[in-house]
A = this chain, B = another copy of it.
């Protein structure tokens, strides 16, 4: 399944959330990571993120797309990174 993770977290926790997210997904632009995950890895990602954030202040959204044929990506401007590119 394809997972898009978008986070809106307090500045004190941004680096930790990003580092944790990048263990599972590819950073593509400010506050957004994406990539293929197994259900098991997705559960571990959520558990790891849940340990870091303050649920009263921070918001993390996951869009879980069952099949990549179900969606398309379009860009305007300068695409900062893509899954598969090595930063």
* Residues in A lying within 8 Å of B, measured CB to CB: 4, 6, 8-9, 28-32, 46, 49-50, 53-67, 70-80
Q: Which residue of B lies closest to A49 (CB)?
A: B76
Number of copies: 2
Q: Across the interface, do A59 and B74 meet the contact criterion of CB distance under 8 Å? A: no
Residues of B within 8 A of A58 (CB): 76-78
Q: Across the interface, do A59 and B80 meet the contact criterion of CB distance under 8 Å? A: yes
Q: Which residue of B lies closest to A55 (CB)?
A: B77
Q: Which residue of B lies closest to A29 (CB)?
A: B8
Contact of A70 among B46, B66, B77 (CB under 8 A): B66
Q: Name the distance in Å between A79's Cβ and chain B's nearest Cβ.
A: 6
Query: How many Å lie between the Cα of A77 and that of B63 in the bound state?
Result: 15
